[in-house]
Amino acid sequence: MERKTRVPTQKRALEKFNRIVDAAYKLFNEKGYYNTTTADISKEANVATGSVYAYFQDKKEIYIKVIEKVSEKFNYPTREFWINNEDKELHNSELSKKLFKLFTKMMIDYHDFSKTFHDEMDALALLDEDIAKVRKEQEQNRINRTREIFRSLSIPFKNEEEENIFLHYSFLLIEDACHKILYDNEIKNIDLCIDKCADMIYVLFESCTDYKDK
């Protein structure tokens, strides 16, 4: 499907556009995608229903913009952030694990949406090719941004394939830990969970690099 979202450039129109997206995000978290109508969104945003359709083709288009906005708010640790806070390079297991913990904590902060929203996002990605495409783009963007960070730190991956394996599976480990902490209530000791997640990522890290602890 060709996407029809029209993002305005004028300040007043952009404010209205953002109110619609924010209202939709609130309702999708509270009521879920299927229990929210376009009329509900327009009422929550305090705009006419016609204004919604001036920017979006339908509710799915609003939802796609919402999940794009959710993804955009993740703050990636930069090389400068890391060096400024540590005043040293990433050169031993302790510092490596500390960076992995930082990623995990940032991912936990990023997951500030409800379990309803999270579960429906996963389900809709299986049912709808447009939403699946957006989720795949988000995942690839996370991998690319994280690759930039590790390359800036001169991490000696054995080759590009090993680098891709590390990035893919480390994200799976981090997301699984986040979901258990935030949604499944399986984890009582959050700090211990984050520590164990960092330990597992470090084992993967060692297997994918020519890294030697100093």
Tell whether 36 and 100 lie within a shared domain: no
Q: Under DSSP, is residue 73 helix (H, G, I), strand (E, B) or coil?
A: coil
Contact at 8 Å (CB) between 211 and 155?
Answer: yes
Note whether residue 6 is domain-resident.
Answer: no
- For the chain, the domain total comes to 2
pLDDT over threshold 50, residue 21: yes
Tell whether 35 and 112 lie within a shared domain: no
Mean pLDDT of 196-209: 93
Contact at 8 Å (CB) between 176 and 199?
Answer: no
Identify the domain containing residue 32 by its residue range: 11-63
pLDDT digits (tens, 9 = 90+) for 70-128: 888 877 766 565 556 554 555 568 878 888 998 899 889 888 899 999 999 999 999 99
Of 145 and 44, more confident: 44
pLDDT digits (tens, 9 = 90+) for 27-85: 999 999 999 999 999 999 999 998 899 999 999 999 999 999 988 887 776 656 555 65
CA angle, corner 135, sides to 133 and 136, nearest 5?
65
- The reported pLDDT for the residue numbered 1 is 47
Tell whether 162 and 90 lie within a shared domain: yes
Distances (CA, A) of 130 to 3, 31, 114, 154: 9, 22, 22, 36
Note whether residue 169 is domain-resident.
Answer: yes
Q: Which among 12, 10, 36 has a CA at the least distance from the CA of 23?
A: 36
Tell whether 34 and 87 lie within a shared domain: no
Tokens representing residue 40 in the block: 């509900």
45 contacts: CB under 8 Å, gap ≥ 6? 16, 19, 20, 22, 23, 24, 52
pLDDT digits (tens, 9 = 90+) for 182-199: 888 778 899 999 999 999
Secondary structure string (H, E, C) spanning 88-157: CCCCCHHHHHHHHHHHHHHHHHHCCCCHHHHHHHHHHHHHCHHHHHHHHHHHHHHHHHHHHHHHHCCCCE
Tokens representing residue 71 in the block: 């993804």
CATH number at 132 reads 1.10.357
Tell whether 31 and 122 lie within a shared domain: no
pLDDT band at residue 22, thresholds of 50, 70 and 90? Answer: very high
Euclidean distance between the first and final Cα of the chain, in Å?
Answer: 53
C-alpha 112/C-alpha 181 separation (Å) is: 12
